[in-house]
C-alpha cells in the first residue's frame, strides 16, 4: 500500500497539518518512503502517525536521522540547556543513557526504563510558562533542530490534558496585516543570554524565572517567582536590551532554504528586543517587542485557530520547527500518568558571527 496523507480533521480549516497513513515506522523506510514523507513534512509542516505501537527509541532516532537535516558529528544532545553531556536529568526530563538523543518527558517516577533509574520526571514547560516557541530558537546560535519528533508509547496514555498545541508559522504570516509584516521582515529577534551548547557558562543565565505568558501564550507579562505556583507573583526584574548581548539572534521571518516558504519564526517568551536586520540597531525596545510579537502571533494562537493535539497511545508526531510553532499545554491540567519521548537532532552548525545579520535567511 502506498503512503497516503489526509488533513487532520480537527484543524483542517486553519492549519495545513496532515495525518500519514499506511506506514509502519518500526520497519525501515525505503528511499521512496523517505522522499515521500520528507516532501510531506515540508509541505504540511507537521505530520501525525497513529498506531505506531511497535516503535522503539532506536526507530525514533532513525526517523529523525532519515531526512538529511541532522548533524552527523553531533555528540551533545542537550540542545542549549548548558549542562554537561554526562548529565542525564535536565529540566525535569531524562535522557536515555544508551540513546541520549531520546529525551523522556512526563510526570512519573521511572525505574529501569530504557536504562533510566530512580528518576522523577517533572513537567516544567507550559502554555502559561514559556508559551509558543520553536525548539532551540532562544538558546542556540545556530544548528537549530529542523525537526522535532514526539512519541506517546504504548501503556502511557493520560486520562486528560497534556495536549501539545501547534500553529503553522506559514499561515501565521498570511494572517498578518501588511504593515506589521513589512516591519517584522526587517527585524532580527535578540533573545535572552542563556547558557547553550556554544557557551555553557552558568553566569549567562540571566532569566530570573520562567516567563509568565498571557494572551494565549503569546505575550510575556514577566517572570515567575515559582513556576509551579501562580499565586507567588512576578519577580521584580527589569529586562534590558543588554540582557541579549552575546546571545542568540534570529530573523522574525524565516525563509525556508529548500521551499522558499516564509514563516513566522519566534519565541516571544524569551525575546528581548528587535534589531534592524542590516545595521543591528535596536528598532523596538523590550516592551514594544513584546507587544509586536504578540500581535503577530495571537491571531494564529487562538483556540479556534490552533491545533490542540490530544495524545493517544502509539501517536508519533513530527514537525518542522521552521514551519510550525508549538507549545505545551499547562502541566497542571494533566490527569493521570504521562510519559512522552522526544527527539530533536541539531542541524550542522554554521557559527554565527556577531553583527553579520545578513548571513541569516531573511524574509526579503
Instruction: Tell me which stretch binds Fe ion (CB under 5 A): 1-9, 12-20, 127-135, 166-174.
Output: 127-135
CB of 239 to Fe ion, least distance (A): 22
Contact 358, 278 (CB under 8 A): yes
Judged by CB, which is closer to Fe ion: 60, or 135?
A: 135
Instruction: Tell me which stretch binds Fe ion (CB under 5 A): 27-35, 133-141, 201-209, 316-324.
Output: 133-141
- Encode 327-355: b = buried (16+ Cβ within 10 Å), e = exposed: bbbbbeebeeebbbbbbbbbbebeebeee
Contact 36, 47 (CB under 8 A): no
CB of 203 to Fe ion, least distance (A): 25
CB of 161 to Fe ion, least distance (A): 17
Q: Euclidean distance between the first and final Cα of the chain, in Å?
A: 42
* CA gap 33, 303 in Å, rounded: 34
* CA gap 91, 123 in Å, rounded: 8
CB of 344 to Fe ion, least distance (A): 8
Q: Where are the beta strands (DSSP E) in 246-344?
A: 249-251, 253-255, 262-264, 271-276, 282-284, 307-309, 316-320, 324-328, 339-343
* CA gap 332, 162 in Å, rounded: 9
Residue 142 found at the interface with Fe ion (CB under 5 A): no
The C-alpha cell that represents 159 in the structure block:
486520562
Judged by CB, which is closer to Fe ion: 135, or 146?
A: 135
Q: Which residues contact 33 (CB under 8 A, 6 or more apart)?
A: 3, 23
Residue 135 found at the interface with Fe ion (CB under 5 A): yes
CB of 165 to Fe ion, least distance (A): 11
Contact 44, 19 (CB under 8 A): no
Tell me the residue nearest to Fe ion as measured from the CB.
135
Contact 45, 54 (CB under 8 A): no
Instruction: Tell me which stretch binds Fe ion (CB under 5 A): 60-68, 77-85, 131-139, 239-247.
Output: 131-139
Judged by CB, which is closer to Fe ion: 162, or 275?
A: 162
CB of 279 to Fe ion, least distance (A): 31
Contact 106, 116 (CB under 8 A): no
Instruction: Tell me which stretch binds Fe ion (CB under 5 A): 129-137, 172-180, 209-217, 348-356.
Output: 129-137
Judged by CB, which is closer to Fe ion: 262, or 342?
A: 342
CB of 269 to Fe ion, least distance (A): 11
Nearest to 76 by CA among 68, 87, 65: 87
Instruction: Tell me which stretch binds Fe ion (CB under 5 A): 69-77, 94-102, 134-142, 269-277.
Output: 134-142
Instruction: Tell me which stretch binds Fe ion (CB under 5 A): 130-138, 155-163, 168-176, 186-194.
Output: 130-138
Residue 139 found at the interface with Fe ion (CB under 5 A): no
CB of 345 to Fe ion, least distance (A): 14
Total chain residues near Fe ion (CB under 5 A): 1
Nearest to 95 by CA among 331, 144, 84, 65: 84
- Please tell me whether residue 229 adopts helix, strand or coil conformation: coil
Ranges within 75-104 binding Fe ion (CB under 5 A): none
Judged by CB, which is closer to Fe ion: 59, or 135?
A: 135
The C-alpha cell that represents 348 in the structure block:
550542522
Judged by CB, which is closer to Fe ion: 150, or 298?
A: 150
Judged by CB, which is closer to Fe ion: 36, or 327?
A: 327
Ranges within 296-355 binding Fe ion (CB under 5 A): none
CB of 148 to Fe ion, least distance (A): 6
CB of 219 to Fe ion, least distance (A): 18
Contact 304, 298 (CB under 8 A): no
* CA gap 30, 44 in Å, rounded: 21
Instruction: Tell me which stretch binds Fe ion (CB under 5 A): 128-136, 163-171, 191-199, 277-285.
Output: 128-136
Binding residues (CB under 5 A) for Fe ion: these are: 135
Amino acid at each position: 500500500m502506498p503512503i497516503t496523507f489526509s488533513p487532520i480533521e480537527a484543524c483542517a480549516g486553519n492549519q495545513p497539518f496532515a495525518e500519514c497513513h499506511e506506514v509502519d515506522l518500526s520497519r525501515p523506510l525505503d528511499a521512496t518512503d523517505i522522499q515521500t514523507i520528507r516532501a510531506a513534512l515540508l509541505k504540511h509542516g507537521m505530520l501525525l502517525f497513529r498506531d505506531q505501537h511497535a516503535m522503539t527509541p532506536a526507530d525514533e532516532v532513525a526517523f529523525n536521522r532519515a531526512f538529511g537535516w541532522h548533524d552527523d558529528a553531533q555528540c551533545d544532545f542537550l540542545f542549549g540547556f548548558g549542562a554537561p553531556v554526562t548529565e542525564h536529568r535536565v529540566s525535569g526530563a531524562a535522557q536515555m543513557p544508551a540513546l541520549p538523543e531520546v529525551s523522556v518527558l512526563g510526570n512519573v517516577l521511572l525505574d529501569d526504563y530504557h536504562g533510566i533509574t530512580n528518576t522523577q520526571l517533572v513537567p516544567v514547560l507550559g502554555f502559561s510558562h514559556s508559551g509558543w516557541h520553536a525548539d532551540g530558537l532562544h538558546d542556540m546560535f545556530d544548528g537549530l533542530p529542523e525537526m522535532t519528533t514526539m512519541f506517546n508509547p504504548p501503556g502511557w496514555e493520560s486520562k486528560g490534558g497534556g495536549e501539545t498545541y501547534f500553529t503553522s508559522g506559514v499561515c501565521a504570516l498570511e494572517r498578518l496585516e501588511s504593515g506589521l509584516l513589512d516591519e517584522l521582515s526587517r527585524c532580527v529577534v535578540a533573545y535572552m543570554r542563556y547558557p547553550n551548547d556554544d557557551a555553557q557558562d552558568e553566569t549567562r543565565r540571566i532569566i530570573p524565572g520562567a516567563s509568565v505568558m498571557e494572551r494565549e501564550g503569546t505575550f510575556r507579562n514577566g517572570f515567575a517567582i515559582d513556576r509551579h505556583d501562580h499565586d507567588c507573583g512576578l519577580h521584580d526584574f527589569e529586562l534590558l536590551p543588554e540582557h541579549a548581548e552575546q546571545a542568540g539572534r534570529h530573523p522574525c521571518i524565516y525563509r525556508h532554504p529548500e521551499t522558499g516558504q516564509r514563516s513566522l519564526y519566534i519565541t516571544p517568551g524569551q525575546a528581548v528586543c528587535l534589531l534592524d536586520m542590516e545595521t543591528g540597531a535596536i528598532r523596538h525596545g523590550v516592551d514594544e517587542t513584546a507587544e509586536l510579537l504578540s500581535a503577530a502571533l495571537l491571531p494564529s494562537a487562538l483556540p479556534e485557530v490552533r491545533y490542540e493535539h490530544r495524545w493517544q497511545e502509539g501517536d508519533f508526531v513530527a514537525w518542522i520547527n521552521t514551519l510550525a510553532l508549538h507549545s505545551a499545554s499547562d502541566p497542571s491540567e494533566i490527569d493521570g500518568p504521562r510519559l512522552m519521548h522526544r527527539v530533536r537532532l541539531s542541524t550542522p552548525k554554521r557559527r554565527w558571527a556577531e553583527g553579520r545579520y545578513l548571513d541569516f535567511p531573511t524574509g526579503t
